[in-house]
Amino acid sequence: MAAGRQHRRVLVRLAGPVYLELLAGVAAGIINMLWVARLGGDAVAAVALAGNVENLLLGVVLMAASGTTVLVARARGADDPGAVRAAVRGGAVLCALLVPPVALGGFLFRDPLAALLLGGQDHPAHALATAYFAISLPGTAVFFAVTVLDGVLKGTGDTRTPMRLAFLANGLILVLDPLLIQAYGVRGAALATVAGRSCALAAGLLALRRTALLRAARAARPALPTAAAVRRTAATGLPMAVDFTVRMGGALALVSVVARLGVTEIAAYGIATKAMYVATMAFYAVRQAASIHTAHLLGTGSDERRAVARQALGIAAALGAGAAGLLFLGAGPVMRAFGADPDVAAAGALFLRCLGPYLLLMACFIGVGGVFEGSGAGPYLARITVAGVLVQLPLAYALSGLGLGGICLATALAMAAQCAAMAVLHRRTAGVPQLVPDKAFSRSG
């Protein structure tokens, strides 16, 4: 019982700042859109499109960031400065390799990219989207660097500094938005975002230099050559990147299914999902905490995956049940707070009240998933996610005749299948001492 309480305290300590970090980004995004809305509907469409592209690019850089977090946490547990240095170097170099094709390639092909995503160059928002991409896509160099830096700090067990950096970046964005948007239009929104993140990156680099674990690592000989460190980071982080990207792709595909129901339903779904994201970010915060804690324990040679999974499950289930209850009771006020008209508000409220089973199951799956990520079982988890999305979309199409309630039922059934598959995986792997050979932590020389 004492060990369980200790795991729970560590998970809560790690997850709390992560949730506030994620929440700050969402809040800044909403306020940013309110400023952009003053420029008209075409500007809103252009910036919203760019936001969807950035979400997909986040899946790309997660390969470097998440892999670095897990490997630094394991090296910290093993008390191996050489392994810490190799993990940090692997993440930094992998990030540097990912930047040119995205930043430079995105800038060069910004016009056809906007046309492809908008359905043609004759779309009213095409010129505005192209103008936004001209700044935001080169700015992914900063976005990627901040994300990997965030991963390094979390691997050291520090989730508070990334939270503070997020507050700094998003606070500056909110200050700069009205000034730059008024002066430069949608370009100003992109400039504000890049400027805010650049300041956070500078502050984050200073924080890295002050971290005792990383200072010790700089004086140590790397445990792996650079090429091997990069491969290891990519192999560790790729399943997490796939998991995130598939979920994002599945969510976008689900929008097309909902769109078949009508304008009222798609508007209600769009507003309701924004409210739902406030809850689901808490689940992902638990996931990151479980991944960091599990990797650290395995680095020390202590295999407590089953105990950590129980605590992560308990915390996530409580969050899921709480979110379901709050959305059920507050569905109407939530929809009205977004200014929805009566028909849209009624449809959205129904959707939110039906989400309870899905939210509870999703919380459990996401939260416990961090244990698998931190222990090297990410590839298995990614396969379950892919299978779940492939099940969800046909189910949603088949049950869409029931309206938004049918969409809720489809997502809940698909998530139940994923939870069942994860339970089977947990029973099969909990007793395996080491899921992935960890040669990175053997000292060289």
Structural domain count of the chain:
2
CA–CA separation, 73 and 86 (whole Å): 12
- Tell me which residue has tokens 């892919």: 386
Last residue of a domain, one of 236, 269, 295: 236
CB-CB neighbours of 339 under 10 Å: 9
Average pLDDT over the chain, rounded to whole?
89
Answer yes or no: do 232 and 277 share one domain. Answer: no
Q: Please give the Cα distance from 338 to 5 (Å, whole number).
A: 40
Same domain, residue pair 156 and 19: yes
What does the pLDDT look like over 316-334, one tens digit per residue?
Answer: 999 999 999 999 999 888 8
Taking each helix axis from N to C end, the angle separating 226-259 and 81-108, rounded to the nearest 10 degrees, works out to 50
Q: Is the same domain home to 22 and 161?
A: yes
pLDDT (tens digit per residue) in 364-395? 999 999 999 998 888 888 999 999 999 999 99
Least reliable range by pLDDT among 209-218, 393-402, 425-434: 425-434
Q: 276 with 214, same domain?
A: no
Question: Are 52 and 168 members of one domain?
Answer: yes
Q: Does the residue 216 lie in any domain?
A: yes
The answer on 172 and 52 residing in a single domain is yes
> What pLDDT is recorded for position 430?
59
Which single residue is written with the structure tokens 């990219």? Answer: 113
Judge whether 357 lies within some domain: yes
Assess whether 314 and 396 both reside in one domain. yes
Q: Which domain holds residue 378?
A: 261-431
Number of residues that make up the chain: 445
Asked whether residue 267 falls in the same domain as residue 232, the answer is no
Note whether residue 443 is domain-resident.
no
CA distance 227 to 233: 10
The whole-number average pLDDT for the span 73-81 is 94
Considering the domain boundaries, does residue 250 fall inside one?
no
Same domain for 208 and 295, yes or no, is no
* pLDDT score at 14: 95
Residue written as token pair 């309870």: 356
Note whether 70 and 379 are within 8 A (CB).
Answer: no
Whether 276 maps to a domain, the answer reads: yes
pLDDT at 45 over 90: no
220 and 281 housed in the same domain: no
pLDDT band per the 50, 70, 90 thresholds, residue 415: very high
To the question of pTM greater than 0.85 for the whole model, the response is yes
Lowest mean pLDDT: which of 25-29, 133-137, 398-402? 25-29
Reported as a pLDDT band with limits 50, 70 and 90, residue 442 is very low
Residue 375, in any domain of the structure: yes
Residues 10 and 54 in one domain: yes
For residue 299, give the amino acid letter.
Answer: G
User: What's residue 417's pLDDT?
Assistant: 95
Phi and psi angles of residue 160, each rounded to the nearest 5 degrees, phi first: -75, -40
Which domain-ending residue is among 236, 253, 286?
Answer: 236
Q: What is the pLDDT of residues 213-248, one digit of tens each?
A: 999 999 899 999 999 999 999 999 999 999 988 988
Whether residues 194 and 151 fall in one domain: yes
**Higher per-residue confidence, 251 vs 22:** 22
pLDDT band for 137, please (50, 70, 90 cuts): very high
